[in-house]
Amino acid sequence: MARKITYQQAINEALDQEMSRDQNVIVMGEDVAGGAGSPGEQDAWGGVLGVTRGLYHKHPGRVIDTPISESGYVGAAIGAACCGMRPVAELMFVDFLGVCFDQIFNQAAKFRYMFGGKSETPVVIRAMYGAGFRAAAQHSQCLYNIFTHIPGLKVVVPSNPYDVKGLLIQSIRDNDPVIFLEHKALYTMEGEVPEESYAIPFGEAAVVREGHDVTIVAIGRMVLKAQEAAAELQKQGIHAEIIDPRTTSPLDTDTILESVEKTGRLIVVDESHPRCSMASDIAGLAAERAFSSLRAPIRQITGPHSPVPFSDALEELYIPSAAHIVAAAKSLKEYR
Amino acid sequence: MYPQKSNNLETTVTKALTREDLLKAYRTMRTIREFEERLHTDFATGEIPGFVHLYAGEEASATGVCMNLTAEDHIASTHRGHGHCIAKGVDPVGMMAEIWGRKTGTCKGKGGSMHIADLSVGMLGANGIVGGGGPLVCGTALAAKLRGQPHVSVCFFGDGASNQGTIFEAMNLASVWNLPVIFLAENNGYAEATSSKFSVACDNIADRASAFGMPGITVDGFDFFAVYEAAGAAIERARKGGGPSLVEVKLSRYYGHFEGDQQTYRAPGEVQNIRDTKDCLLQFARRVTTGGQLTQADLDSIDAEVKALIDGSVVKAKSDPKPSEADLLTDVYVSY
């Protein structure tokens, strides 16, 4: 039965249901319980924003606080996965990738191929990403592009509560390392989510809205900006189709290309920086494989090539807006 | 009784080694030596691709440690990993084929010398990243602990890796989680071309143990019995829930960092002097024959069998097929 819960609650529910289903599922990270070794509550925090709250007592011994040693515990999660556990390691902010990247891209991502297919590494690394919280340059990045570049990793960027639950369950059941990225601005978003467990397959984009004038491919939180823009464009007689890839690796290229072939116009909205981004990747894909369908240039709407600024005045300028998308769609519609 | 003093070089034979154990130890050390000497010869012909880092001279370490392990225990190895693989039970014939880049290799020719792994015998992989294995063994040890299994995990690392943050993080993590891990520092005196006298800020790597709340000991790595005893004590302690230990084995490599290294950073005659006076195989043979546990004939017959095994592995590797184009994209999901 579906009822309205938040994105954050949906993540908690997915973890809870998978931990109940499979004793090999463990959760580890900094303050995922919050209170280890302290004189007060042993689960005082349940994650820095409370996402894992309540799991500590429901699943004794399987919600494990770690020291602030990202290489150490992310690597430990990978090692545990090599012998059949299904660890979910929380990296807190994806920006902390900088202190554990080797374990992710040289170890976890490589094992299956490098060992001739004789190992599996069913680990999930969860992290928050994205701007909008005045958290500045080291706590606001969108690093899915970096992970997407690495063969051997799967990369998930859910845009709503329904998807975040189904995709997290799929991530835990998947036998490859999965990078699961949660936009912190979505944590309070409410949506219809079934109580029962369900998995959403990787590599299947969602057509969030159908339209015939322009395709908007949007990643993560940018799906919401695209929806806002599409509503405005509708008033102006432009019918936008919105594609949410949901996973950037594997990427559902078929759904994107089919839409571009239908509309002849493509806008890609990616909160990350422009160079070597999902925007440039998907633009390249369409240019190479749907060239003859294009009726206008491809437009990429991204954050600028700058670190994320702190001041609200600057950060609001940094984040791609619905107005940017509306303007781009109109210019494409008017092209020739 | 586990020695708490970090630079204690004293060892006493407390565990009785049977005749079978001694034969096995000698066979393992001889197999490693023969494997590496043969690679040294064959690499010079230019036929072997890539890099190889030879373990010759260090055989007593891998053998002394792994004689205390079962197939359910895990080890993580280094770029200088052939000896660890053989001692842990990886098939030398498959290893030779792997090093020659053949489809019949342990990893189907996709890993090579630096990435030989066989999880079926608890070998988590040689590792091209210095210090990469520390976090991984925390994970395999955590899995054993959560499952209530008596298995231990050993991280082999060198004096170079002893200065890596991953090793510090892993030692702290293993200690705070009270994991059954043995950090096995193989101090061969040189990290590539840089002396550990320069790069390690304390007299002995084992001195660092107290900083992580674990016992540490330094042992003579040319003496199989010393390594067997010290590692055995640490492993026994870990199996009984006593937590991690740091064992430093001081030894020497007979060849360069990689094949082709002229080793001009070493003193003239340094390696020859060690070969003549300290060699682990010579010391072992002298001790067991003068003690009457084994005869020279026992050893000679092992030498002959090992030579035949390694000769056969090279003949096979040379004639085995290389992987084909059809193998390029297997063992990794491909989304582009």
pLDDT at residue number B15: 62
CA atoms within 13 A on the CB side of A245: 31
Q: Which helix (H) or strand (E) holds B128?
A: none
CA atoms within 13 A on the CB side of A178: 29
Q: Which residues of A are catalytic?
A: 139
The CATH number for B124's domain is 3.40.50.970
Average pLDDT over every residue of B37-58: 96
What mean pLDDT is reported for chain A? 97
On chain A, the residues whose CB falls within 8 A of the CB of B129 are: 102, 106-107
Average pLDDT over every residue of A128-147: 96
Q: At residue B171, what are phi and psi to the nearest 5 degrees?
A: -65, -40
When pLDDT is cut at 50, 70 and 90, the band that residue B334 belongs to is confident
CA-CA-CA-CA torsion sign (B92, B98, B99, B101): positive
Is the predicted pLDDT of residue B9 greater than 50, yes or no?
no
Is the predicted pLDDT of residue A335 greater than 70, yes or no?
yes
Record: contact A84-B143, CB cut-off 8 A = yes
Average pLDDT over every residue of B93-99: 98
On chain A, the residues whose CB falls within 8 A of the CB of B105 are: 116
Unique residue bearing structure tokens 């900088």:
A98
Instruction: For B114-124, give one letter per residue: b (16+ CB within 10 A) or e.
Output: bbbbbbebbbb
pLDDT at residue number A336: 75
Q: What is the ipTM of this complex?
A: 0.93
On chain A, the residues whose CB falls within 8 A of the CB of B110 are: 113-116
- Do B33 and B56 touch, CB atoms closer than 8 A? yes
Provide the shortest C-alpha distance from residue A323 to chain B (in Å). Answer: 32
Record: contact A114-B117, CB cut-off 8 A = yes
Q: Is residue B66 part of a domain?
A: yes
Rounded distance between C-alpha atoms, residue A77 and residue A89, angstroms: 6
Q: How do residues B238-276 score in pLDDT, each as one tens digit?
A: 999 999 999 999 999 999 999 999 999 999 999 999 999
Number of other CB atoms surrounding residue B5 within 10 Å: 12
For B:91-110, CB contacts with A below 8 A are 105-110
- Show the tokens assigned to A34: 């919050």
Q: How do residues A166-222 score in pLDDT, each as one tens digit?
A: 999 999 999 999 999 999 999 999 999 999 999 999 999 999 999 999 999 999 999
pLDDT at residue number B80: 98
Which of B75, B149, B332 is the best residue to mutate to test the A interface, defined by the most A CB atoms within 10 Å of its own CB? B332
Fold classification of A206-334 (topology level): Rossmann fold (3.40.50)
Is the predicted pLDDT of residue B2 greater than 50, yes or no?
no
Q: How do residues B280-324 score in pLDDT, each as one tens digit?
A: 999 999 999 999 999 999 999 999 999 999 999 999 999 999 999
When pLDDT is cut at 50, 70 and 90, the band that residue A235 belongs to is very high
- What domain range includes position B192? 19-327
Indicate the length of chain B as a whole number.
Answer: 336
Q: Which of B135, B169, B335 sits opposite A79 (nearest CB)?
A: B135
Q: Is residue B318 part of a domain?
A: yes
For domain A2-194, which CATH number applies: 3.40.50.720, 3.90.550.10, 3.40.50.970, 1.10.1040.10?
A: 3.40.50.970
When pLDDT is cut at 50, 70 and 90, the band that residue B335 belongs to is low
Q: Is residue B212 part of a domain?
A: yes
Question: In 3D, which of B225, B216, B259 has the Cα closest to residue B61?
Answer: B225
Average pLDDT over every residue of A315-333: 98
Query: Structurally, how many domains does chain B consist of?
Result: 1
On chain A, the residues whose CB falls within 8 A of the CB of B170 are: 72, 75-76
Q: Is residue B11 part of a domain?
A: no
pLDDT at residue number A1: 85
Question: In 3D, which of A10, A41, A14 has the Cα closest to residue A25?
Answer: A14
What global pTM score does this model have?
Answer: 0.94
Is the predicted pLDDT of residue B8 greater than 60, yes or no?
no
When pLDDT is cut at 50, 70 and 90, the band that residue B7 belongs to is very low
Domains A2-194 and A206-334 in one fold? yes
Lowest-pLDDT range of A8-17, B11-20, B212-221 = B11-20
Domain boundaries, chain A: 2-194, 206-334
Does the CB of B9 have a partner CB in chain A at under 8 Å?
no
